[in-house]
Amino acid sequence: MRLLKTETLEFVDFTRPPPRYAILSHRWGKEEVSYADFASKEREDCPGWTKIIRCCQMTRERKYQYVWIDTCCIDKRSSAELSEAINSMWDWYSQAAECIAYLSDVHWSSDWAHMLERFERSEWFRRGWTLQELLAPRIVIFYSSDWREIGGKRDVTILPVIVKATAIPESCLMAGMIIHTKCVAERLSWASKRRTTRPEDMAYSLLGLMGVNMPLLYGEGSRAFLRLQQELVRQVDDESIFAWRHISPPAGLMSGILAPDISLFATSAGIRTLRNDRAPIAITNKGLQIQSAATYVKHAEIADLYVFQLNCEYPMGLEAGTLQHARCSIAIRTDDNGQWCRVLTSRLGEHLELMFPGLEKEEFSQLTFFIRLSRWDNVYQPVLSLLNKARLAWRSKRADTWFLTELPRAA
């Protein structure tokens, strides 16, 4: 871990547990200072440099000799160092003595009510990376754009505003040990309305929160979130990973069992897991293998329609002062290639009689399904294959690409 000494502005590398340090949380601007820039003392007149200097001054005033700042303490020219840093970042934030959260879009106001309104609207609460920077540290102190202290995340006036802005339970903000007792779907729901500049970072920023590690492949785009879900299926016995839903899916949509986008977990808050006696789920070359009791529904418009329950439940509402829950269930059918895929993706556990009133049903105690992982498996690949064939055919007509033409077959 590389820390910046607040007095001398020199980098110090630690291979063993580092000394007591503070850590910065902020939104990246257009002119941030990299490790190479800071080491060479270049770009001292840009806003990113000023931010680093002010952060060092602030942490020094708070009696810290060292600070970690993501813009300049990671040499991003090294892919190995970047990968190690991202996979370690949750630990680095949780081990920091204090996190300084700088909100560049929150301008100080002497009117406290107005100040809290600005605080709640800060873009800091809508960015992907700042989620772990809010949850991992025990102490988070917020500062306005002119480096005036607003308050800590546990302060009685600040805490309700954070809960409202993030939809994260107060207990998780007060006691970090509770966070990883929440199911996968609920933790993903906290990130469902956040965004990152690069699509891959939406998945990479969740590694620590989800408790998994995986290599970084910048350039993979939205596939990173699918990889993250696959790692969760392999490493965590938690079927709430499948408890996502579309609000208004296209008619006739046949989807994979994994969510194509994190926004589909927006309604997953409050889901809780149940005891799981199911045989282990496996990811195979035929899709997700799952053994389950299932209900066949004879539907006039949807052939081979089955519904099976997940080992989790979602809140339905209060009844006689008690929060009632219902079992999560999903519907699947076969596509034209005979592979199972998820359908009716706006439904997530409504009782079968409400979902399919009056339809004939048959119960099965144990069936094995191989369900498509994502839409990429069977939908986009044939299209890409056709486009590739068309491209090759076009290139084969050009004189300078004669080697792409098909050779005559032997008689």
Per-residue pLDDT of the chain (411 residues; tens, 9 = 90+): 999 999 999 999 998 899 999 999 999 988 999 999 998 887 888 999 999 999 999 999 999 999 999 999 999 999 999 999 999 999 999 999 999 999 999 999 999 999 999 999 999 999 999 999 999 999 999 999 999 999 999 999 999 999 999 999 999 999 888 999 999 999 999 999 999 999 999 999 999 999 999 999 999 999 999 999 999 999 999 999 999 999 888 888 899 999 999 999 999 999 999 988 889 999 999 999 999 999 999 998 898 999 999 999 988 875 556 778 889 999 999 998 889 999 999 988 877 777 888 899 999 999 999 999 997 554 334 444 444 445 445 545 544 433 333 333 333
Q: Which of 76, 63, 67, 60 is nearest to 10 (CA)?
A: 67
How many angstroms separate the CA atoms of 388 and 386, rounded?
5
**What amino acid is encoded at 213 in this protein?**
N
Burial of 261 (0-12, 13-18, 19+ CB in 10 A): middle
Domain boundary among 150, 181, 212: 181
Same domain, 250 and 351: yes
Phi, psi of 288 (to 5 degrees): -80, 120
Same domain, 128 and 263: no
Query: Residue 14 belongs to what domain range?
Result: 2-181
Same domain, 262 and 346: yes
360: in domain: yes
211: in domain: no
**What amino acid is encoded at 326 in this protein?**
A
How many angstroms separate the CA atoms of 235 and 212, rounded?
8
Domain boundary among 148, 181, 214: 181
pLDDT of amino acid 56? 97
Coil, helix or strand at residue 376: helix
308: in domain: yes
Q: Which residues pair with 2 in a beta bridge?
A: 13
Domain boundary among 137, 166, 181: 181
223: in domain: no
- 11, two tokens: 């980098």
**Number of domains, the chain:** 2
Same domain, 260 and 374: yes
Coil, helix or strand at residue 396: helix
Rounded to whole angstroms, what are the CA distances from 70 to 88, 94, 354?
Answer: 12, 15, 51
Q: Which of 143, 138, 162, 133 is nearest to 68 (CA)?
A: 133
200: in domain: no
Same domain, 255 and 361: yes
pLDDT of amino acid 69? 97
Same domain, 173 and 259: no
359: in domain: yes
* Residues in CB range of 109: below 8 A, 6 or more apart: 115, 118
407: in domain: no
411: in domain: no
* Residues in CB range of 203: below 8 A, 6 or more apart: 224, 225, 227, 228
Angle at 312 between CA 309 and CA 316, to 5 degrees: 95
Same domain, 258 and 170: no
Q: Please compute Rg for the chain using Cα positions.
A: 26
| Contact (Cβ atoms closer than 8 angstroms) between residue 206 and residue 224 | no
